[in-house]
């Protein structure tokens, strides 16, 4: 696989090949598995993502065992049907898919981690927007996932993708950056524009803390995915418009790593600081787990 | 670069039952790895949690995830949330302990599993590094303790005969032209080896080696 974002961009430029192709080739070479098997595995991931979105948007919505999350994707769906939203229907459709996915996740439903379960809604949100605006085929969507995964591997190996080590920036931030870079390619942008989108997306969520109420992947995780999706789409559009990041992509990833290391443990998935540490957050924790919980 | 993540499917995937890739899917993977290393059905398992795992295991379903792994379930198996009851019915007694202080294997998402049945006792220390990926950072089997390199895929082998000739042949088989990292711990009961193959081995190769080297463990 690739060592840096720069290496991905220069290889794609030199070979005049789309990034998705490079990533598929690398996966086939590294895994020793056939191209068909690699492709089918990614297609199964896409199918799972779509099923989760569908599940979260039907009926009364899905609710977590604690009752803290559920039913908000449905609210957005109804709002879109009855009102003219401020940020436009593509954006709110993406937000709806993101919320739906994380509501299914919080309800112990089946999802595809992209890169994590807590950030599983960001990518499906962007997919919903790409389908709406660009009418991408299934093949193009599978390619989108390979590109996103290739960029994500560099982030994971140079920074990290766990809230417990890097905060939410490592989860929703990484998901948003991967999705932004892959969305640029899907929309016909250059490899360098993908790297710019990744940089912008990371920069905009840098420092985001992981502060789940009662330590549960529910609040604020579900709505953070709405922002991860929106941020990805804005970053991709900025890059496609020709805007650039002053700081190169690989340095943005390094910055994210350092910020993550400097976050106190209370803001890294311990359910102690941030929103989890508020009087209301603590009250909910005590109600769910009893007062003896530290 | 540490290159913990080696496949695009470490990033896009796994397909899993929620709610957390590190605290649920990763915990399933730690349980599965521990069961594979134990090579038998344990009757008693004590799970020691550290740091983030100790603080949030209840909310993240880590308990049912570890139990599911010990039962050998995949992370997307619908039975995952019901695993503790299923394990109990299968005669496996699982206890969970929230440990104070830092993880002895230096990661906030740490679970150390002590497994035993009448005949043997094995301890496996795993950490969930994010997105469902895990590392195995400590293994104690037959009173031999080893600190593996961590990332999977990983091959473990206890050489009871202390036959260096045989080990050399195994290493050549595992390498297949690529790199191989090795760790070794000598003991009276046998020499315990860990090999980091960097790439996954084909199922055919694994089957062949399993026949030749009794008790060899492949983690992926």
Chain B residue nearest residue A123, CA to CA:
B12
Q: Which pLDDT band, with edges at 50, 70 and 90, does A294 fall under? A: very low
Span B24-33, pLDDT tens digits: 999 999 999 9
Shortest Cα–Cα distance, B162 to chain A (Å): 32
Residue A294 domain flag? no
Q: Work out the average pLDDT over A19-42.
A: 94
pLDDT of residue A8: 98
Q: Which pLDDT band, with edges at 50, 70 and 90, does B6 fall under? A: confident
Asked if the C-beta of B202 comes within 8 angstroms of chain A's C-beta atoms, the answer is yes
Q: Do A109 and B202 touch (CB under 8 A)?
A: no
For B157, the enclosing helix (H) or strand (E) is: strand B154-159
pLDDT of residue B178: 67
CA angle, B155 then B159 then B160, to 5° = 145
Span B180-198, pLDDT tens digits: 888 989 888 888 999 988 7
Q: Which pLDDT band, with edges at 50, 70 and 90, does B1 fall under? A: very low
> How far apart (Å, rounded) are the C-alpha atoms in residues A136 and A260?
35
Domains in chain B: ranges and CATH: 15-141 (3.30.1330.90), 152-220 (3.30.70)
> Best interface-test mutation with A: which of B2, B20, B29, B204 has the largest number of A CBs within 10 A?
B20
pLDDT of residue A1: 87
Label residue B9 exposed, middle or buried (CB < 10 Å: 0-12, 13-18, 19+): buried
* Total number of domains constituting chain A: 1
What residues 51-80 of chain B have any CB closer than 8 A to a CB of chain A?
51-52, 55-56, 58-61, 76, 78
Q: Work out the average pLDDT over A209-221.
A: 95
Q: Can you give the CATH number for the domain in which A159 is found?
A: 1.10.4100
Asked if the C-beta of A167 comes within 8 angstroms of chain B's C-beta atoms, the answer is no
> How far apart (Å, rounded) are the C-alpha atoms in residues B215 and B156?
9
Chain A residue nearest residue B22, CA to CA:
A162
The DSSP secondary structure of B180-211, one letter per residue, reads -EEEEE--TT-EEEEEE-SSPPPHHHHHHHHH
CA distances to A108, B104, B159 from B185, in Å: 41, 19, 10
> Which residue has better confidence, A31 or A35?
A35
Q: Do A212 and B59 touch (CB under 8 A)?
A: yes
pLDDT of residue B200: 76
pLDDT of residue A293: 46
> Best interface-test mutation with B: which of A49, A164, A172 has the largest number of B CBs within 10 A?
A164
**DSSP label at A278?**
S
Q: Which pLDDT band, with edges at 50, 70 and 90, does B199 fall under? A: confident
Q: Do A31 and B20 touch (CB under 8 A)?
A: no
Does the pLDDT at position A292 exceed 70?
no
Span B151-165, pLDDT tens digits: 888 999 999 889 999
Helix A221-240 / helix A174-186 crossing angle, nearest 10 deg: 40
Q: Which residues of B touch A123 (CB under 8 A)?
A: 12
Q: Do B130 and A32 touch (CB under 8 A)?
A: no
Determine the distance from the C-alpha atom of residue A89 to the mean position of all C-alpha atoms in its chain, rounded to a whole number. Answer: 20
CA distances to A52, A108, B15, B68, B74 from B78, in Å: 14, 9, 11, 10, 9
Residue A15 domain flag? yes
Is A76:A128 a contact under the CB 8 Å cutoff? Answer: no
Does the pLDDT at position B177 exceed 80?
no
Q: Work out the average pLDDT over A275-287.
A: 96
Q: Residues of chain A with pLDDT > 70: what percent?
A: 99
Q: What 3-state class would DSSP assign to B170?
A: helix
Span A97-127, pLDDT tens digits: 999 999 999 999 999 999 999 999 999 999 9
Instruction: Please choose, from the candidates B10, B129, B21, the residue with its C-alpha nearest in 3D space to the C-alpha of residue A149.
Output: B10
pLDDT of residue A36: 97
Does the pLDDT at position A290 exceed 80?
no
Span B120-147, pLDDT tens digits: 899 999 999 988 999 999 999 888 899 9
Exposure string for B32-52, b = 16+ CB within 10 A, e = fewer: bbbbbbbeeebeebbbbbbbb
Q: Work out the average pLDDT over A159-182.
A: 96
Does the pLDDT at position A25 exceed 70?
yes
Q: Work out the average pLDDT over A181-188.
A: 98
> How far apart (Å, rounded) are the C-alpha atoms in residues A80 and A94?
11
Asked if the C-beta of A152 comes within 8 angstroms of chain B's C-beta atoms, the answer is yes
Span B51-88, pLDDT tens digits: 989 988 988 889 999 999 999 999 999 999 999 999 99
Does the pLDDT at position A61 exceed 80?
no
Asked if the C-beta of A161 comes within 8 angstroms of chain B's C-beta atoms, the answer is yes
- Is the backbone peptide bond immediately before B195 cis, with ω within 30 degrees of 0? no
Does the pLDDT at position B14 exceed 70?
yes
Is the C-alpha dihedral spanning A11, A14, A20, A21 positive or negative?
negative
Could you give the residue ranges of the DSSP H alpha helices within A135-220? 138-158, 163-166, 168, 174-186, 191-205
Nearest CB among A108, A146, A288 relative to B17 is that of: A108
Q: Do B130 and A162 touch (CB under 8 A)?
A: yes
Q: Work out the average pLDDT over A258-285.
A: 95
Instruction: Please choose, from the candidates A164, A274, A162, A264, the residue with its C-alpha nearest in 3D space to the C-alpha of residue A213.
Output: A274
Chain A residue nearest residue B107, CA to CA:
A165
Q: Work out the average pLDDT over A78-89.
A: 97
pLDDT of residue B121: 93
* Mean of per-residue pLDDT scores for chain B: 91
> How far apart (Å, rounded) are the C-alpha atoms in residues B136 and A174?
25
pLDDT of residue B3: 67
Does the pLDDT at position B103 exceed 50?
yes
Q: Which domain holds residue A194?
A: 5-289
Residue B77 has, within 13 A of its CA and on its CB side, a CA count of: 18
What residues 113-152 of chain B have any CB closer than 8 A to a CB of chain A?
128-132
Shortest Cα–Cα distance, B21 to chain A (Å): 5
pLDDT of residue A234: 98
Asked if the C-beta of A128 comes within 8 angstroms of chain B's C-beta atoms, the answer is no
Q: Work out the average pLDDT over B6-24.
A: 93
């Amino acid at each position: 696989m690739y060592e840096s974002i720069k290496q991905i961009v220069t290889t794609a430029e030199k070979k005049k090949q789309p990034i998705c192709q490079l990533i598929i080739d690398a996966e086939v070479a590294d895994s020793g598995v056939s191209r068909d098997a690699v492709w089918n595995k990614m297609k199964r991931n896409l199918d799972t993502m779509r099923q989760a979105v569908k599940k979260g948007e039907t009926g009364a919505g899905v609710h977590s065992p604690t009752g803290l999350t559920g039913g908000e994707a449905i609210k957005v769906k109804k709002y879109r049907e009855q009102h003219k939203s401020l940020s436009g229907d593509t954006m709110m459709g993406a937000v709806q898919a993101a919320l739906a996915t994380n509501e299914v996740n919080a309800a112990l439903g089946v999802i595809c981690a992209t890169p994590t379960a807590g950030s599983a809604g960001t990518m499906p949100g962007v997919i919903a927007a790409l389908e709406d605006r660009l009418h991408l085929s299934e093949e193009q969507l599978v390619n989108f996932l390979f590109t996103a995964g290739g960029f994500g591997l560099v982030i994971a190996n140079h920074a990290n993708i766990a809230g417990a080590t890097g905060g939410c920036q490592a989860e929703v931030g990484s998901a948003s950056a991967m999705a932004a870079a892959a969305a640029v390619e899907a929309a016909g942008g250059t490899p360098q524009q993908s790297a710019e989108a990744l940089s912008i997306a990371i920069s905009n969520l840098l420092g985001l803390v992981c502060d789940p109420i009662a330590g549960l992947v529910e609040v604020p995780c579900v709505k953070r995915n709405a922002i991860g999706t929106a941020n990805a789409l804005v970053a991709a559009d900025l890059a496609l418009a020709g805007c650039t990041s002053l700081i190169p992509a690989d340095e943005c990833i390094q910055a994210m790593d350092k910020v993550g290391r400097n976050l106190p443990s209370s803001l890294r998935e311990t359910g102690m600081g941030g929103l989890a540490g508020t009087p209301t957050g603590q009250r909910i924790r005590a109600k769910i787990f009893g007062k003896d919980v530290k | 670069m540490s290159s913990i993540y080696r496949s695009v499917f470490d990033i896009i995937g796994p397909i899993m039952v929620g709610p957390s890739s590190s605290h649920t899917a990763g915990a399933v993977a730690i349980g599965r790895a521990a069961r594979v290393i134990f090579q038998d059905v344990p009757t008693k398992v004590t799970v020691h949690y550290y740091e983030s795992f100790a603080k949030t295991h209840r909310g993240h379903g880590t308990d049912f995830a570890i139990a599911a792994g010990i039962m050998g379930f995949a992370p997307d198996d619908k039975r995952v949330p019901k695993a503790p009851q299923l394990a109990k019915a299968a005669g496996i007694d699982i206890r969970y302990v929230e440990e104070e202080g830092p993880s002895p294997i230096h990661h906030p998402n740490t679970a150390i599993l002590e497994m035993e049945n009448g005949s043997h006792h094995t301890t496996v220390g795993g950490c969930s590094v994010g997105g469902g990926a895990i590392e195995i950072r400590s293994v104690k089997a037959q009173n031999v303790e080893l600190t593996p390199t961590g990332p999977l895929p990983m091959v473990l082998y206890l050489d009871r005969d202390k036959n260096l000739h045989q080990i050399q042949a195994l290493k050549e088989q595992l390498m297949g032209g690529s790199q191989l990292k090795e760790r070794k711990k000598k003991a009276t009961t046998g020499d315990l080896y860990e090999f980091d193959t960097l790439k996954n081995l084909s199922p055919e190769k694994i089957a062949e080696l399993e026949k030749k080297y009794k008790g060899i463990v492949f983690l992926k």
